[in-house]
Amino acid sequence: MSVIQVNNLSKHFGNLKAVDQLSFSVNAGEVFGFLGQNGSGKSTTIRMLLSLIHPTSGRIELFGKSMETNRNQILEEVGAIIERPDLYPYLTAREHLQLFAKLRSKKITTSRIDDTLIKVGLLERAQDKVQTFSLGMKQRLGIAIALVHNPSLIILDEPTNGLDPQGISDIRNLIKQLAQQEGKTVLVSSHLLSEIEQMATQIMIIHRGQKIAEGPIQKLLDPNKMVVHVKTTNDAQALQFIMSGSFSNYLLKRTDGIHLCMPDYEIPLFNTSLVNAGVGLIGVETRNSLEDYFLQVTSNSN
């Protein structure tokens, strides 16, 4: 079942096409990684999903219902945090959850509030005013606000902003728990690609408002698409050799050295060919991470 269904979604700001004919779906119980460079249209798309801005064209359905005609009913089942949460410095963490609980039509018990504070690691600071919180603690409280009414769909835009490594790990584990143990559907946008790689079951990458990649991580990180970083004593000579033969098809448009994307079985032949061509080879580093894949597809789309 599709919890999110987006068809031909566009948003124009004057002559700028922030989102351009975007279509995708998110199934129930998935952690869906939503990726893109700054200015790619991620936040604009998320704001349209939450009905904070209206599309120029296209259709959004959540839980099989049109956002245009069922907005209030849909949003009762959605929890969200967009970048940094808006908080009140003179209220405590508990008072924040009590306040937002009153804005919901669902009855939210004290026990539910405590459980939510436990999930984000803030129960011991429940009575402290937010003005005493660090940026990371404020981010945790924002996530708690998104979760307190027990939504079926959770949309998180940069949920680990300001968190230390332990906090990032805690939020990653929480997101996985929400999907795997509680059956929640989570759409998460983050610049920390290694974190998305560890938690998401599906990813989508957009660039200049358009979708350029989508699918299961296991399928996208194909061993036939290994990223190879070549270190030589003479990069100009190495590039000349690569561009003169069949390996030129594998060359990536990167500014941080020589990178190729090739099948793993081609790598030994590539190494031997470089050496035979007289290239001073320092090393060949092979990787197959989401970060490498992301850089590959976004660089090729420029």
DSSP H helices in the chain: 42-49, 71-75, 93-102, 110-119, 135-147, 165-180, 193-199, 217-220, 235-243, 267-276, 290-300
Give CATH 3.40.50.300 domain extents, the chain. 2-218
pLDDT digits (tens, 9 = 90+) for 162-212: 788 988 899 899 999 999 999 999 999 988 898 999 999 999 999 999 999
Q: What are phi and psi of 116, to 5 degrees?
A: -70, -40
Q: What are phi and psi of 149, to 5 degrees?
A: -90, 15
Q: Closest Cα to residue 171, out of 185, 158, 152, 153?
A: 158
The tokens describing 18, both together, are 């922030």
* Cα(274)–Cα(269) distance, integer angstroms: 9
Q: Write down the architecture of domain 2-218 according to CATH.
A: 3-Layer(aba) Sandwich (3.40)
pLDDT digits (tens, 9 = 90+) for 72-105: 999 999 999 887 788 999 999 999 999 988 887 6
223-300 folds as: Alpha-Beta Plaits (3.30.70)
Tokens 């929480």 belong to: 174
* Cα(140)–Cα(117) distance, integer angstroms: 9
Cβ(188)–Cβ(198) under 8 Å?
no
pLDDT tens digit at each of 302 positions of the chain: 799 999 999 999 999 999 999 999 999 999 999 999 988 999 999 999 999 999 999 999 999 999 999 999 999 999 998 877 889 999 999 999 999 888 876 788 999 999 999 999 999 999 999 999 988 899 999 999 999 999 999 999 988 887 889 888 998 999 999 999 999 999 999 888 989 999 999 999 999 999 999 999 888 877 677 888 999 999 999 999 999 999 999 998 887 889 998 888 899 999 999 999 999 999 888 877 788 788 878 876 76
* Cα(10)–Cα(178) distance, integer angstroms: 30
Give CATH 3.30.70 domain extents, the chain. 223-300
Beta bridge partners of 62: 4, 65
